[in-house]
Amino acid sequence: MDYNPREIENKWKAYWKEHEVYKVENPASGESEKPKFYVLDMFPYPSGAGLHVGHPLGYIASDIFSRYKRMSGFNVLHPMGFDAFGLPAEQYALETGIHPAKSTSENMERYRTQLDNLGFSFDWSREVQTCNPKYYKWTQWIFLQLFDHYYDNQENKSKPITDLVQHFEQNGNAGIDAANSQEGSFTAEEWNAMSKQDQEEVLMNYRLAYRKIGYVNWCEELGTVLANDQVKDGVSERGGYPVIQKAMKQWYLRITAYAERLLNDLEEIEWTDALKTIQSNWIGRSEGASMFFDIVGSDEKIEIFTTRPDTIFGATYMVLAPEHDLVEQLTTADQKQAVDDYISYVKAKSEVERQAEKEVTGAFIGAYAINPFTNEQIPIWIGEYVLKDYGTGAIMAVPSDDERDQRFAKKFGLQIIDVVDKSKYPGATLSDKVGVIINSGFMNGMEVPEAITAACQKAEEMGIGKMHINYKLRDANFGRQRYWGEPFPVIYDADGLVHGLPLEELPLMLPDTDDFKPTKGGRSPLARLEDWTNLSDGRSRETDTMPAVAGSSWYYLRYMDPDNEDAFAGQNAVNYWQDVDLYVGGSEHAVAHLMYARFWHKFLHDKGLVPTNEPFKKLINQGMIQGVIEFIYLDKNSPEDARRFVSAEIAAQEPDGDFAKIPVHIDYVTDYGSDKSYLNLAGIKQFIDWRPDYANASFESATGTYKSGVFDSPGGAADITFVTLSEVGKMSKSKFNVINPDDVIEQYGADCFRMYEMFLGPIEQSKPWDTKGISGVSSFLRKFWGLFFDAQGTFSVSEEPASKEEMKILHTAIKKVTTDIERFSFNTCVSAFMVATNDLRKLNCNKRAVLDPMVRLVAPFAPHAAEELWLRLGGMDGMKTVQEAGFPQFDEKYLVEDSITYPISINGKKRALADFPADASKEDLERDALALEEMQKWLEGKTVRKVIVVPKRMINIVVG
RNA sequence: GCGGGUGUGGUGAAAUUGGUAGACACGCUAGACUUAGGAUCUAGUGCCGCAAGGCUUGGGGGUUCGAGUCCCUCCACCCGCACCA
């Protein structure tokens, strides 16, 4: 029988479904005969374009690993679900009027079908959808827990806010060391005398979920708040309208409370160093001093943070962030115009643009501060390189020892005083913390580290500052002015006080609407639903919704116990599954999702609700599979009613600026993805059918010109070769280059698709999609299948014992595949299968002793074919699936060699190969190698200075 | 700007601890079989060279008996930067 993937795969997909082969049970408390293993994929956002060939890369890898672990005797949890709230569905709703719930649910269904088509071993009975009220009930509940807790720095854990209130009632905020944004101190009497509102204001500065003013990208023209990636060059991506930074009161999460733990605990998890570095840079811990500078003629003080307090004698001016609270108050009348102009210049820029700005910009505000160590008056400036949200939003500028300060000082003619003598450290850069302090009073002669301590001590004695650890990590903005997200489960009373809803009232359902446009002032569409928003007695609901990161911060816990109605997950389930053993996903989630999930997990751990300190023990990143975008050149100067397109070779001869690149649907392109990709006449016709506005356009190429149905070729060519431009880029609906795995599977089968994606290269590497090599994998599968059948196509397996050579081929493959799965090197596993199959074919081997373990070995990779072959081998006896058969174990005894082929080098260059006995001594090897006939011409007339022999590896003869 | 990553044949790549560079595939060349081939099989295929041999892992330098692998330096490309998910 020929290998017919379609038939086999449909049969087994149906069988798996019917027999619930991949359903996983939570063992009753205490008993678990098998060790647990939790393999998780980052769940997808179900986009309208459907699953493309890039998505499955990680899923295939994790599925192979899950199947391998299952066959190795583990109880494997391998679930899947959907990150179903998010902006694209809402954007789509705005354009089409189709409700996000509807489009999302359709998209999820489509994804599910596509995922099933790939033969994954997901336990779908555990599916979670973040937009399902049964799920977001618990997202809301966790949010309320955050709202009801503060972080105690002494005990290093979060505690109920009621504890804090009790403390305030008795002691004010003295003696409390908590993560907070409270300014100043108050006594118990002061606390008790405060109004409810004032008390709530204070508590907001401690809660882990709290409200404060934040800045958003506001586009007046569109009447909406924009995401950073919807803003390009200070204008909206859609429409190109101006965007400014607008202040809005919003919900935040106090992730900074966990900064130290998020940083330190990176040590206990197996993530790549690159990923850990990204997280640790994101957290951005720096040690230094916070200090207060007095202001001439004002009672206000400017608080700064510096990592270099030792250079304070060189602080000749200060720079505030343009948004700093004191700017307005301190600006003098004659500088007002300049300052206002500068602020409006800054407001039009995004933070990334501000930091990327190479030119130094700033404005003097007219006021002066006093350097507390030199008592000199120093001017106060504002500049975009100082960020409002980093540190205190103000710096003491030391132009002698900070590069940016130096450029600023040089541009604006500010004083520069050298305070660090680096002559003892040749090659040290400005930012290296080395040197001897000069021009600095009591610190003169000290080395930098010593001076840092001394400066902190002095500042503390003077009562103007202290040692301080600063983090770049900021509290996360947790509010979105959008419809399609979790509603905040809170109610504002008539006095504006926030009340969390009790558990019985959860979930707070997202109300239905058909109008997804933002409400005036940038408020969410929910604000338009007055019946929902406004309650009796002047009470109202929050109209912001939660960001997509909310639902994804804890979904991995829900899979453990997805139907629990009394808790986010039952304690039995959580204590059994513990944490994720292997997490596979894209590195684009390196900070946001992975940081918030770690934060929520630690918070739940503090509450005693999860047993582990970290959610994801091991994590691997899969690379992206990019698409190729095909463009054709449109002459921008051609008239509207007679557009002129030119083939790439013609465009190359004319100035670049004359052409616009129009993306073409890749289905129309011949030789898609190659440098020679082109449209033929049929392709051009398809293009015109698709874009009828170009019906009258001309298409010029070296082979001739096509216009209005006529192809005129001077050379008499029968068809046009209209060359397109191929560029590697994201696979996206808007680029018309999405490749649906279903189409590939239709042609080659899911087993082939799975193996081919693995065969493409290392899992973590990005690469453009290319089907060039798929035939190699396809023919491998046919050859492998062929091992089990005779020339007449009859299933035929021999019971004869296997030869030594055959056993060696088998065990070489088992060893290679086992070690390579363990190190996530799936591409080399596929090679190993090919090598084994080629070798067995040469020996015409059809022996059960070899083929039975081979089937179990390929089962994780090609599960459908493996099931069919396993059934035919008679292995199904008493089992539902080959997954229940054990994974083959290799035995070194089949791998021992009698002789070893040694490369023999002269001065490190290979000159000969020779076989020597495996147990030959170093001395024998050296003697025999030197005696080899083919070596004599290299040794002639030379002195052998040294012979290096590495047994079982190589021999190197050094001559001179 | 800050941070992360990647550079090896015509192409995707392999080389697990510093020890035979290019496994395994694609493509290409030649041949066999066939009515036919975008099927299958066999052989060859890093580059230069008739050969002997030389060169070769982005460029340059270093350490070493030996470097794709370690160190220094330069270059190119890709990704992320807090409201895309």
Report the C-alpha gap between A610 and A300 in whole angstroms: 46
Report the C-alpha gap between A769 and A625 in whole angstroms: 6
Between CA A943 and C1' B52 the distance (Å) reads 23
Contacts of A330 (CB under 8 A, 6+ apart): A295, A298, A300, A365, A366, A367, A380
Between CA A474 and C1' B82 the distance (Å) reads 8
Tell me which DSSP letter residue A580 carries. B
Q: What is the 3-state secondary structure (H, E, C) of A306-318?
A: ECCHHHHHHCCEE
Find which nucleotide's C1' atom is closest to A765's CA: B6
**Contact A443/A310 with Cβ under 8 angstroms?**
yes
Report the C-alpha gap between A853 and A870 in whole angstroms: 10
Whether the per-residue pLDDT at A427 is higher than 60: the answer is: no
Nucleotides of B under 7 A from a protein CB: 1-6, 11-16, 19-21, 23-27, 39-41, 53-54, 65-67, 78-85
Q: Could you tell me where the beta strands, DSSP code E, fall in A220-260?
A: 224-226, 231-232, 235-236, 244-253
Nearest residue to B66, CA vs C1'? A908
Whether the per-residue pLDDT at A235 is higher than 80: the answer is: no
Report the C-alpha gap between A631 and A659 in whole angstroms: 11
Average pLDDT over residues A381-391: 82
Report the C-alpha gap between A696 and A645 in whole angstroms: 11
Q: In what order do the strands lie in the sheet with A75-77?
A: A75-77, A36-41, A582-586, A619-622
Q: Could you tell me where the beta strands, DSSP code E, fall in A298-375?
A: 298-306, 317-320, 363-370
pLDDT band at A665 (very low <50, low <70, confident <90, very high): confident
pLDDT band at A715 (very low <50, low <70, confident <90, very high): confident
Report the C-alpha gap between A324 and A344 in whole angstroms: 14
Report the C-alpha gap between A622 and A744 in whole angstroms: 21
Task: Tokens 């950073």: give the residue.
Answer: A228
Q: What is the ipTM score, two decimals? A: 0.92
Q: Please, how many CA atoms are within 13 Å of residue A177, restricted to the half-sphere of its CB?
A: 5
Cis peptide bond upstream of A507, omega within 30: yes
Angle at A808 between CA A805 and CA A814, to 5 degrees: 150
Q: A420 by DSSP, 3-state: which?
A: strand
Handedness of CA A869, A875, A881, A885 (dihedral sign): negative
For the stretch A247-279, what's the b/e string if a residue is b when 16 or more beta carbons lie within 10 angstroms of its beta carbon? ebebbbbbbbbbbbbbbeebeebebeeebbebb
Average pLDDT over residues A490-513: 93
In this structure, what are the phi and psi dihedrals at residue A143, rounded to the nearest 5 degrees?
-60, -45
pLDDT band at A381 (very low <50, low <70, confident <90, very high): very high
User: Residues A832, A767, A553, A578: what is their CA dihedral angle, to the nearest 10 degrees?
Assistant: 10
Average pLDDT over residues A609-619: 94
Report the C-alpha gap between A369 and A630 in whole angstroms: 59
Between CA A780 and C1' B32 the distance (Å) reads 22
Q: What is the pLDDT of residue A452?
A: 87
Q: What is the pLDDT of residue A870?
A: 95
Largest CA distance in chain A: 107
Find which nucleotide's C1' atom is closest to A46's CA: B85
Whether the per-residue pLDDT at A676 is higher than 80: the answer is: no
Report the C-alpha gap between A114 and A564 in whole angstroms: 28
Closest to A750 (Cα-Cα) out of A64, A25, A36: A64
Between CA A593 and C1' B84 the distance (Å) reads 13
Tell me which DSSP letter residue A425 carries. S
Mean pLDDT rounded to a whole number for chain A: 88
Q: What is the pLDDT of residue A358?
A: 63
Find which nucleotide's C1' atom is closest to A476's CA: B82
Find which nucleotide's C1' atom is closest to A816's CA: B16
Find which nucleotide's C1' atom is closest to A946's CA: B65
Report the C-alpha gap between A126 and A128 in whole angstroms: 6
Pairing of strands A909-917, A298-306: unpaired
Name the residue with higher pLDDT: A428 or A259: A259
pLDDT band at A355 (very low <50, low <70, confident <90, very high): low
Contacts of A744 (CB under 8 A, 6+ apart): A53, A753, A771, A774
Task: Tokens 């709230």: give the residue.
Answer: A85
Between CA A934 and C1' B51 the distance (Å) reads 18
Contacts of A590 (CB under 8 A, 6+ apart): A275, A278, A279, A621
Report the C-alpha gap between A399 and A406 in whole angstroms: 4
Name the residue with higher pLDDT: A21 or A240: A21
Tokens of A154: 């002494």
Least confident of A39-48, A801-810, A864-873, A922-931: A922-931
Between CA A433 and C1' B73 the distance (Å) reads 23
Burial of A884 (0-12, 13-18, 19+ CB in 10 A): middle
The predicted-structure confidence for A93-107, as pLDDT tens digits, reads as follows: 888 889 999 999 999
Name the residue with higher pLDDT: A548 or A492: A492
Q: What is the pLDDT of residue A426?
A: 59
Tell me which DSSP letter residue A793 carries. S
Report the C-alpha gap between A861 and A40 in whole angstroms: 18
| Helix pair A56-71, A826-842: axis angle to 10 deg | 60
DSSP string, A56-86: HHHHHHHHHHHHHHHHTT-EEE----B----
**Contact A902/A955 with Cβ under 8 angstroms?**
yes
Tokens of A536: 């009796």
Pairing of strands A36-41, A582-586: parallel
Q: What is the pLDDT of residue A674?
A: 64
Between CA A796 and C1' B41 the distance (Å) reads 22
Average pLDDT over residues A135-145: 96
